[in-house]
Amino acid sequence: MLLQDRVEVKKVVVWEAFDVTDPMTRAAANLYEKTLTPDERIPWMWIEQSVQERPKSKPRPGGWSRHLLLAAPEGKQDDPESLAGYVYGALLPGYGGYLCYVGVADWARRMGVGSRLYDQFFKVLRVDAGELGEALPFVIWESHRPDESATASDWDNWTARTRLFDRVGGLWIEGVDFLSPNFAFDDEEEAPPVPLQLFVKPMDLPESAFTSDRLREVVGGLHERVYQNEPGSRMFDGTLPPGCDPRLRAARTAGAKKSERVI
C-alpha cells in the first residue's frame, strides 16, 4: 500500500481480536513490541493467552474481563500492513476499568486512531460492567514519563500521549509516582521499580467524587488488584507514603518537562 493511500484514510474500523493466529493479531504483536520499550511492557504471550481464552470467558466477579481491540481502515481489516493500532485492557469487577496498552502505527498517527481506540474500549467496558449489574466508576491507565535526560523524540511522544489522554477525557493524578515492577529484569526484587504517572477517566462517578482519600484508594486498589502488592510492601508504601495528597489535574499538565511545569 502506498503511503499516499494511507493518509487519505477516511474511516477507521475497530473490532475485537479473538484469534491469536490471525495475521492481524500478529501484526498487533509487532506494533506492541515496536512502540513500547521493554520496561513498559509484559511479554506479548500473556496478552495472546487472554485473546485465546476470550471466547470462553465472561465477566465474573473477582475475575478480569480482558479485551484486545484492533483498528484498521475500512476494507483493510485483513491486511496486516494496514493495522492502524491496538488497545489492550480489562474490566476489574468491583474496582474499575484498567487500560494496559495502546499503540498506533507511525503512518496512522494524528488521525484520531488513538482517540477512537480509547472510546471503543470505554464502550466495551461499559457493556462488561452492565452484564455484571455493576457501575463503571472509572477507567485508569499508567504511563511512563521520560526523565530529564530523555531524547526529544521521547518527549514528543510523551506530549502525544498526554494530548491523547486529554482528548479522551483522562485526568492526571498529580502527586503520585506509581512504583511498578520492571519487566525488563528477570528478578523483580533486584530491579529498580519503574515510576509511572496515572491517569483516570471518570465514568459513572463525577470528577468531584475523586477526593484525595478516594484517589488513594484507587491507587492502592491498582497495586492490590493488578500487581498483588499489599500495604506494607515496598512498592505500595513507596507509591503512597504518609502525607501523599493526590489530586486530579488536566492531563496536559503532566506533559510539561519538570523544569517547565507550573506549580
Ligand X SMILES: CC(C)(COP(=O)(O)OP(=O)(O)OC[C@H]1O[C@@H](n2cnc3c(N)ncnc32)[C@H](O)[C@@H]1OP(=O)(O)O)[C@@H](O)C(=O)NCCC(=O)NCCS
Q: How far is the CB of 42 from ligand X (least distance, A)?
A: 13
Taking the complex as a whole, the smallest distance from the CB of residue 194 to ligand X amounts, in Å, to 13
CB of 160 to ligand X, least distance (A): 3
Q: Using alpha carbons only, what angle is made at residue 52 by residues 49 and 56, rounded to the nearest 5 degrees?
A: 120
Chain residues binding ligand X by CB under 6 A are 35, 102-104, 109-115, 143, 156-157, 159-161, 163-164, 167
Which residue, 50 or 162, has its beta carbon nearer to ligand X?
Answer: 162
Q: What is the DSSP string of 195-244?
A: EEEEEEEESSS-GGG--HHHHHHHHHHHHHHHH-PPTTSHHHHHHS-TT-
Q: For residues 14 and 218, which CB has a smaller minimum distance to ligand X in the complex?
A: 14
Q: What is the DSSP letter of 80?
A: G
Which is nearer to ligand X, 93 or 120 (by Cβ)?
A: 120
Write phi, then psi, for 198 (nearest 5 degrees).
-110, 145
Q: How far is the CB of 111 from ligand X (least distance, A)?
A: 5
Measured torsion, CA atoms of residues 246, 97, 234, 240, in degrees rounded to the nearest 10:
10
Element at 34 (helix H, strand E): helix 23-35
Question: In the complex with ligand X, which residue's Cβ is closer, 114 or 246?
Answer: 114
Minimum gap (Å) between residue 255 Cβ and ligand X: 9
Give the residue with the Cβ less far from ligand X, 26 or 167: 167
Question: How is residue 237 written as a grid cell?
Answer: 508504601
Print burial letters for 15-31: b (CB count within 10 Å at least 16), e (below 16). Answer: eebeebeeebbebbeeb
The DSSP annotation for 115-168 comes to: HHHHHHHHHHHHHHHHHTT----EEEEEE----TTS-HHHHHHHHHHHHHHHHT
The residue number whose beta carbon is nearest to ligand X equals: 114
Q: Which is nearer to ligand X, 63 or 155 (CB)?
A: 155
For residue 141, the minimal CB distance to ligand X (Å) is 6
CB of 164 to ligand X, least distance (A): 4
Rounded distance, CA 198 to CA 140, Å? 7
Residue 53 or 81: the one with the smaller Cβ distance to ligand X is: 81
